[in-house]
Every structure is written in C-alpha cells, then in structure tokens.
Amino acid sequence: MTTAIELAEKELEKKYSKLVGTAASNMCAHCGWCIDSCHVYQATHDPETSPVAKAERIRRVYKKEHDWMSKIFPSWTGAKKLTEEELDKWVKLAFRDCTLCERCVVNCPMGVETPQLISAARAALTAAGKAPEILTQLADMAISKEENAELYRDFFLEQIKEIEKQLQENMKNPDARIPIENEGAKILYVPLSGAHTILPEATIFNAVGESWTMSMFEASNYGVFLGDTAKAKRITERIINEAKRLKVKEIVLTECGHAYTTLRWEAPKWFAGPLPFRVRSILEVLDEYVRDGRLKLDPSKNPEPVTYHDSCNLGRKGGLLEEPRRVIKAAARDFREMTPNRLQSLCCGGGSGLVAISEWSESRINAGKPKADQIRETGAKTVVTSCDNCRHQITELSEYYNLGIKVTSLCELTAQALVLPSVK
C-alpha cells in the first residue's frame, strides 16, 4: 500500500520537475530581503513565517534528492528526507501562513518564486490526504454540481427568477432580463453563488443592452487552492464546455481573483493552447464600457471617500491594475489610494482559500492587521475590492478592528452610480 509520504513525494517530484521549481529551490541566497514583504510576518514577527523560512522547509526536502552537495552531506545544507512529522508541519505553513500572494517574489532581488514551492507543498499535502477538509469538500461539490446538473437546474432557475424580479424592480424596467442558456449570445457571464455577483452585473448588462447569458456554474475553483491540477482542470472544464455549447464569443468572469487567473492564464496551459473564445474579467468589460461612453455614471451618487484593494490574483498575478481604478474614478467622487498599492499591494490576509477555513480565523484576522492599518490610513468610508475572498476578509477586518467601512464590489459601486435611461 502506498503511504502518505510516498504520495506526497511523488507529487512533489512532479512539481519540482518544472524549471521554476528547480530554480526556486536552488537560487535563494538566504539574503533575507523578502522577510518583511510578507503580511503574515509583518503581523506576527515570527521568524518561522518569513517567506524564506517557509520556502526553506520545502527546499530542504527537494535538495535531499536533487542537490549535489545535499546528497553527499545533507547536514551541510540542512537537507532532509520528508517524514510524516515534517509533512504535518507543512499543513499550517502551506495553507495558513502563506496565501500565495507573490509579494515576496516582487521584492526578491533574485525573483525566487516562493509561492511555487508552497503550491508544490499544497499539492503534496493534498495527495497525502492532509489538506484542509473544507477545501477538498468545496472542490468536490463543484465537480458533483456538473455531474448532477439536471437535479440542480430547476432550483437554480427558480432562484434566478427571484433575482430577475428584483432587477426589474430596481431598474423600473419590466423588460430587464437575466438570460440563461441563451445560445449565440456574445458573453457568457460566470458569477459566484449569491445575488451580490448577479444583480449589479445584470443591471449593468441591461443598461448597456449587452448580448449575454449567465452561466449555471460558479467561477470559484477550490482545486486551484489545493494545488490539485486534475480537480482544478475538471472544475474549469465545466465552464469551457458550457461556453462551447452556447457558442459564445467570450467568457466574462465575475469579480473573483483566483477564477480570473485560473481561466485567463492557467487554463490555456492545461488545455495546451488558447481557448476558442476570449476570457475577460468583468473589470475589463466595465472599463471598456466607461471608456466607450456606453455607461453613463454619476460620481455624486458615491460621494464618500473610496479606496481600492488590489486582489493579489487580479493585480500582481493577473495584470488588472489600472482598469478598476479608471472605473472607480468615473463612478465615485473621492478616490484615495492605499499605500502601498498595485504591484506592492498587501494581501488582505484571507487569500488562496484561507477565508474558508474557519478553525484558522484567528490567525487570519491577525494576518490582516497590516491591511486594516492601510485602510484606516486612507480615511475612506468605502473599500472596493474585486475578489470575494478579499471582500469576506476585509468585512471581518472592519468588524474586528473597528474600521467603520463598507466593503463593496466594483460592479456594486458602478451600479450605484448608474444613470439609468428612463423607460417609456
């Protein structure tokens, strides 16, 4: 019978075989430049939580098998074999103390990809059956939703009808629609579960007269957080198949950080080439509407100071840095930047699935302290963030640290500023 260690080692080997893993494992000079770039370290000042310390635990296992010197004199380089005890220590290191935010990468003089090592550890833990159960359950649920689509369909349509009624009421337009299974539509919009990622977007699409249809599936992909490429692929495939079936021209993803990087950047690698349609975030679509003058916005409808939190996945990993800012400036009167922002933005502390793991909520809230301080310094009353993970985390940070802010999405802010055409 294959042991947990053997499964973990096999998975690690698979991930290490990629050049970046090898480079990340060998090129760190232990200079310590990355130490205070990590929000977890900033909050705890625990040496074990510095990026180099976290990476080093995994690196030493890699070195035992691959580094010339480590093979002969492991104690000289600190190399060691993977043990059950070591693997258990990795659970918190990989799933709690690192949110794969990549802030350490952009602050490393060598560009060591520490998150790649942590992802490899996540994959190894998942293979060994040691990943947090809730993440596995959420990934499995997404897969079973496709397998039981027919069972789920009626309930889903009923829910959408309810949201559609609300939409018509809000827009004072009985013709406003949330189209489902609209074959040949230009856009397949993929939301998350919950009306907050459907209603504002539907308002905007209806306001500009967009040709769209809404996906039956959610954008989130817990397989990615697990480092489980097979599951991540499977979850992504549901949306790709739906888009192909409906013959849409593009997929537009809701405000969800990891869903964007997954479908926009990672999926083409998994499926060996570009997807047969364009993939964009709703942020890019909003930006286009604003720049083309298709959306009429009144910034005085959002009079209070607003700040923007860059989701690590959308910004540092995804390249969407200016699009949301242009939209906010069009939709709100007083936009204030956090310091630092964009490429150097601090993680909210809840990324990469951590927000779903309730037993670690205390350390998650603690790790969010640097972000809470940053928000407070802006004096903003509204925080816009385009990732549901960040939204949950910042809402909790606001309650815990008494920030007195409202957390909202870019679409909600935009819908609030919308000047609707009068319906005859």
Window contacting other proteins (CB under 8 A); options: 16-24, 215-223, 327-335, 413-421: 16-24
337 is a contact residue toward other proteins (CB under 8 A): yes
288 is a contact residue toward other proteins (CB under 8 A): no
Give whichever of 260 and 360 is closer to other proteins, judged by the CB atom.
260
Residue 342 CB, nearest distance to other proteins (Å)?
A: 4
The only residue of 5, 13, 14, 23 in contact with other proteins, by rule CB under 8 A: 23
Window contacting other proteins (CB under 8 A); options: 32-40, 92-100, 150-158, 187-195: 32-40
Tell me how many degrees the CA angle 110-111-112 measures, rounded to the nearest 5: 95
Residue 210 CB, nearest distance to other proteins (Å)?
A: 21
**x/- binding map, residues 195-234, to other proteins, per CB under 8 A?**
----------------------------------------
Residue 329 CB, nearest distance to other proteins (Å)?
A: 13
Rounded CA separation 155/161 (Å): 10
Residue 254 CB, nearest distance to other proteins (Å)?
A: 18
User: Judged by CB under 8 A, how many residues of this single chain contact other proteins?
Assistant: 66
Give yes or no for a cis peptide into 303 (omega within 30° of 0). Answer: no
CA–centroid distance for 166 within its chain = 28
Beta partners for 212?
187
Tell me how many degrees the CA angle 161-162-164 measures, rounded to the nearest 5: 65
Beta partners for 251?
188, 279
Rounded CA separation 124/88 (Å): 11
* Structure tokens that stand for 131 in this block: 């990943």
What do you get for the CA distance between the two ends of the chain, in Å?
Answer: 72
53 is a contact residue toward other proteins (CB under 8 A): yes
Rounded CA separation 248/140 (Å): 27
Residue 62 CB, nearest distance to other proteins (Å)?
A: 13
Give whichever of 30 and 424 is closer to other proteins, judged by the CB atom.
30
69 is a contact residue toward other proteins (CB under 8 A): yes
268 is a contact residue toward other proteins (CB under 8 A): yes
Rg for the chain, CA atoms, rounded: 22
Under 8 Å CB-to-CB from 362, ≥6 apart: which residues?
none
Rounded CA separation 213/164 (Å): 13
Among residue numbers 81 through 140, which ones bind other proteins (CB under 8 A)? 105-113
30 is a contact residue toward other proteins (CB under 8 A): yes
Rounded CA separation 104/332 (Å): 32
Window contacting other proteins (CB under 8 A); options: 127-135, 169-177, 259-267, 288-296: 259-267
Beta partners for 383?
307, 407
Give whichever of 68 and 155 is closer to other proteins, judged by the CB atom.
68
Give whichever of 207 and 286 is closer to other proteins, judged by the CB atom.
286
The only residue of 29, 141, 157, 423 in contact with other proteins, by rule CB under 8 A: 29
Tell me how many degrees the CA angle 124-129-132 measures, rounded to the nearest 5: 90
C-beta of residue 363 within 8 angstroms of C-beta of residue 403: no
Judged by the rule CB under 8 A, the positions of this chain that interact with other proteins are 17-20, 22-24, 26-37, 47-48, 50, 52-53, 56, 68-69, 75-78, 105-113, 264-265, 267-269, 272-275, 278-279, 315-319, 321-322, 337, 339-345
